[in-house]
Amino acid sequence: MYSMDNDIDHILVSEDALKAKVNELGAQISRDYAGKDLLLVSILKGSVVFMADLMRAVQIPCAIDFMVVSSYGGANTSSTGLVKIIKDLDADLTGRDVLIVEDILDTGITLSKLVPVLKMRNPGSVKICTILSKPSRRMADIEPDYCGFEVPDEFVVGYGLDYDEKYRNLPYVGVLKPEVYSGE
């Protein structure tokens, strides 16, 4: 029987490490946003797993909303540089403290275009929380306010991250074997 685990070269961040880091981030966010009107904004599809875990780890009242924003397409493994909003927020951001929840901050192109768009909607603040950051690939001047793990420049999947809509449901972050995404 086929197992997605067979396509993984090695595990970069274990399920236990993810759980511990999400609880740590949730505690920090709870402290930082106590008494504020917190809105967690999940950037779909990749952040859905992280968002579900993070919102349960946040111990203060918060609302959630979702956006679909893309600078990747299909089986592309690198950003196209073009950012489009496919599904916009339902919530009014006026005066609210917005925390963008992302799976990975890679080149930074998507968020560098999205943050100014959200700031034009008069929120109290806009900050970024990502479970993974790849600073070696950063092409835009943007950094996360909350970060789980810095990862090397390897093709990672799992915990919401995909390759061609596969592997999102792995409970860990793993490095995909090159032959899987290069077609060798």
Any domain includes 40: yes
CB atoms within 10 A of CB 116: 10
CB atoms within 10 A of CB 82: 12
Catalytic residue (one of 103, 106, 141, 162) = 106
Any domain includes 164: no
Any domain includes 133: yes
The structure's pTM equals 0.91
106 is catalytic: yes
Any domain includes 100: yes
Any domain includes 160: no
Any domain includes 54: yes
The proportion of the chain whose per-residue pLDDT surpasses 70, expressed as a percent, equals 92
Instruction: List the domain range (segments joined by +) for residue 68.
Output: 16-152
Residues 36-88 pLDDT 10s = 999 999 999 999 999 999 999 999 999 999 999 876 554 445 555 667 889 99
* Domain count within the chain: 1
Any domain includes 165: no
Q: What is the CATH number of the domain that holds 131?
A: 3.40.50.2020
Any domain includes 169: no
Q: What is the side-by-side order of every strand in the sheet holding 97-105?
A: 84-87, 62-70, 38-44, 97-105, 125-133, 146-150
Tokens of 25: 């981030």
Residues 5-39 pLDDT 10s = 999 999 999 999 999 999 999 999 999 999 999 99
